[in-house]
Structure 1
Amino acid sequence: MKKSTKKHILVYFLAIMLIVSLFAVAQFYVRQTRQRIQKTQEEAATQSQTEAETLLTKVKVVEILPVPFTDILVLPGTVVPYEDIDLAAKTSGTVEWIGPKQGARLKKDEKLLQVDVTSSKTKVTEARALYEQALKDYNRIKRLYNEKITSKEQLDNAETVLNTSKAALDSTSVNLKDGTLYSPINGILDNLLVDPGEYINPGQTVMKIVDIDRVYIELPVPEKDILYFTKGQEVALQMSVAGGRENNNETSGTSDFRQGDFNGVIDFVSMTADNTTRTYLVKVLAENSEHKMRPGMIVRARLVRRELQDAIAVPFFTIIDHEKGKSVFVIDEEGVARERPIQYGSFQRGLVEIRNGLKLGDKLVVVGQRSLVEGQKVEITGDITPLARQWILEGRDLSKLTVDILQ
């Protein structure tokens, strides 16, 4: 082999060794770089998890406990008088005298109005004279009949004349009596529709008399609720009544009002529904001696549908409103927030009856629920279950728990 050939082989060998060495160095560098990147990622993940745990949403919870709950239906009602009478004239004539003024309090059988009955008095006088003459004739013929001097036919004719004259006298006497109108009830003269000197006709309304010492509150009850209510059931009533000025501000030009509380009793429950509204009429009778409730006023009636001893109820502020419905958040055993769709019933002093979606023992979020999402890990910073249990035992208003838990 020539010397030049050996030299070329050596050069090739050295070149190959250099390439292999460079490749090994490159591989080593790549491995080192990957290890550094992986370590950095692991450290970043650990740091993110630590920061996430540090920034967990803080919530307060309460265990769902059975609570006494009154299922109440609140309805607007209209006040109507206990008695409402349109007093009508019984005979025609000119109004001669009117006693009470409009707005006056009336007593039953009190004289109210007098129609000019001069012609009626004349007719009564004539009818009485005819009757007295017929009575004399009848007695005379009867005596003759008993003595067998006159016939039975003459006696019958005399009796007929007597009865006819008696009927005429009674009729004219009634007309005379009908000229005077008396109050049929104890009440108030709410509207006077005629004046002295005015001519009136039979059946014409001359006065409106109302009795509001007691009043009815008429309530339109939906058909789904009507079976809850019966005659004799007590009802709580509320309305705005004048309460005087709380501040002596003479220039304000407005009056202050407060809520008036009254009690009533169901006196009537309709058996048939209104064809238009599909509601049933319920009439609540209430004492109104101070006349604070006036006909036509609107009153809020609170009717008890059910008394529940172990209901599931939550504060109204814990409920979240979505387009799909309403829900609440509970915390499971692993400290994760779970959203629960609910079906709710009636309200009572800030509490809402939950008919579906919660069960006893669930841990309900009462503070922090607005910022939660399904499956989110949370930190429970307070459990107000002992306080809620104490309030239930004391019969206190659970809707006011927010005053304590937010402090």
Structure 2
Amino acid sequence: MTTVMRNVVAASVLVALILGGCDSNSESSVPTTEKPREKSVPVHVQTVTKNDLDERFSLPGSLEAMVDLSLAAEIAGPVDWIGPTEGSRLVKDEVILTIDSVSQKANLERALVDAEMQQANMRRLENLVAKNLVSRREYDNSVTAYETARQNLKLARIALNKSSVRAPIAGVLDKRFVERGEYVKVGDPVAVIVQVDRLKVLVDVPEKDVRSLHVGEVVDVLQTQIDTGETIKRIGKLVHLAYNADPVTRTYLAKFEVDNHDRQLRPGMIVRIEALRRTLKDAIAVPLYALIDNDGRKVVFVEEQGRAQMRPVEIGRVVRDQVVVQSGLEAGENLIIKGHQLLSDGMPVIVKGD
């Protein structure tokens, strides 16, 4: 009996130890109810506003002299005097060269003497015919001779004037094709004068931009120096816009007048014009980099009460580095423009300064 009792006591102690171990393990395995703290993502925001947005367009063009004149010889003969050199600035009516001027001066003097003699003879006969000392026919012949001499004098003066090749406008002597002693015929080119204080820009305008341009409109004309990267900016005025399109390119030729008093620009340079296409009134525009592609749709993130809210948006025109948002954003909201690549809807954020 004593042995049986000892076995019962031992078994009871063993069961108690096992149960105690189970309770300890059960308590230690219960998970904590405290959630881990979410980490806030630092972001930069921009307040959404409505503004008038100018949509501009740019087109390439080329510079030409406003006036480019080719001068030709009006009389035949040897070139007997050369004046300004190529590149010289010319004033209006300045003599560039002369052609056979010595002979033309001699012809003028001879014509002048002949006209004076014929005039004197006509006046002498006029007195005599009044006294019936000479016939009327003789007097009429003297009148005809005087008129002929007077016309020859006029022609001699014209020929002498034509012997001097003059600048019809103020400009620059760009080219001279003849040298002293060279014989030229009537119509031979002798010089080229260009006016460079004013230039014209020729631009081929595509059909979609023609309606945006009007004669008298002012545009920006930009020329970038290849070696330095410096940009020369001028104001251009539209003076002509073709009505007929080029049959090959289907573009319309536009001519802009540009001031070039400092002569930094030269004919033949490549430039571009920037003009206003339209003004979008009260537009909401955001930086292009604020947009994110999400399963084929455009979305942005806005900050609301410390959290990022994803907004699907409908976009319109792209103007430079801005895109017009047609729906999905309202003025006054805080658009997240930096740090948004790491966000998902509802994530906590902390707004940082610039």
TM over 0.5: yes
Q: 2:74 aligns with which of 90, 100, 110?
A: 90
Q: 1:275 aligns with which of 227, 246, 266?
A: 246
Pairing 1:381–2:352 present:
no
CA–CA separation in structure 1 for the residues paired with 2:144 and 2:213: 61
Displacement after TM superposition at 1:338 (Å):
5.5
Preserved CA contact (<8 Å) 2:40 2:349: no
Query: What residue is the counterpart of 2:317 in the other structure?
Result: 344
Query: What residue is the counterpart of 1:140 in the other structure?
Result: 124
After TM superposition, the score normalised by the length of structure 2 is 0.72
Letter in 2 for 1:342: I
Pick closer, same or farther for the CA change 1:135–1:56 going to 2, 3 Å: same
CA–CA separation in structure 2 for the residues paired with 1:228 and 1:382: 45
Displacement after TM superposition at 1:297 (Å):
0.8
Pairing 1:329–2:285 present:
no
DSSP-derived class of the 2:75 partner:
coil
Pick closer, same or farther for the CA change 1:60–1:152 going to 2, 3 Å: same
Preserved CA contact (<8 Å) 1:58 1:378: no
Query: What residue is the counterpart of 1:292 in the other structure?
Result: 264
Letter in 2 for 1:146: A
CA–CA separation in structure 1 for the residues paired with 2:211 and 2:327: 26
Give the 5 Å matches for 1:219-234.
Answer: 219-234=203-218
Spell out, residue by residue over 1:137-168, the C-alpha distance to the aligned partner (whole angstroms, 9 max, x if none): 32233323433555555444433332222222
Preserved CA contact (<8 Å) 1:77 1:299: yes
Query: What residue is the counterpart of 1:99 in the other structure?
Result: 83
Spell out, residue by residue over 1:356-393, the C-alpha distance to the aligned partner (whole angstroms, 9 max, x if none): 56664588664466689xxx745363679xx9xxxxxx
Letter in 2 for 1:263: R
| Greater CA drift, 114-123 or 354-363 | 354-363
Query: What residue is the counterpart of 1:316 in the other structure?
Result: 288
Q: 1:303 aligns with which of 275, 279, 282?
A: 275
After TM superposition, the score normalised by the length of structure 1 is 0.64
Pairing 1:67–2:35 present:
no
CA–CA separation in structure 2 for the residues paired with 1:135 and 1:174: 21
CA–CA separation in structure 2 for the residues paired with 1:328 and 1:77: 37
Pairing 1:175–2:171 present:
no
Letter in 2 for 1:292: Q
Instruction: List gaps (5 residues or longer) in structure 1.
Output: 1-49, 243-254, 388-403
Pick closer, same or farther for the CA change 1:230–1:156 going to 2, 3 Å: farther
Letter in 2 for 1:328: K
Displacement after TM superposition at 1:337 (Å):
4.3
Greater percentage in helix: 1
Preserved CA contact (<8 Å) 1:241 1:292: no
Query: What residue is the counterpart of 2:222 in the other structure?
Result: 238
Q: Report the RMSD for the aligned CA atoms in angstroms.
A: 3.8
CA–CA separation in structure 1 for the residues paired with 2:161 and 2:134: 40
Preserved CA contact (<8 Å) 1:330 1:363: no
Spell out, residue by residue over 1:69-106, the C-alpha distance to the aligned partner (whole angstroms, 9 max, x if none): 22222222222223222222221111122112222222
Aligned residues: 315
CA–CA separation in structure 1 for the residues paired with 2:134 and 2:283: 96
Displacement after TM superposition at 1:339 (Å):
4.7
Letter in 2 for 1:315: P
Pick closer, same or farther for the CA change 1:274–1:193 going to 2, 3 Å: farther
DSSP-derived class of the 2:243 partner:
strand
Query: What residue is the counterpart of 2:3 in the other structure?
Result: none
Query: What residue is the counterpart of 1:38 in the other structure?
Result: none
Letter in 1 for 2:276: V
Displacement after TM superposition at 1:186 (Å):
2.4
Query: What residue is the counterpart of 2:21 in the other structure?
Result: none
Pick closer, same or farther for the CA change 1:271–1:300 going to 2, 3 Å: closer
Preserved CA contact (<8 Å) 2:174 2:193: yes
Query: What residue is the counterpart of 1:12 in the other structure?
Result: none
Preserved CA contact (<8 Å) 2:313 2:326: no
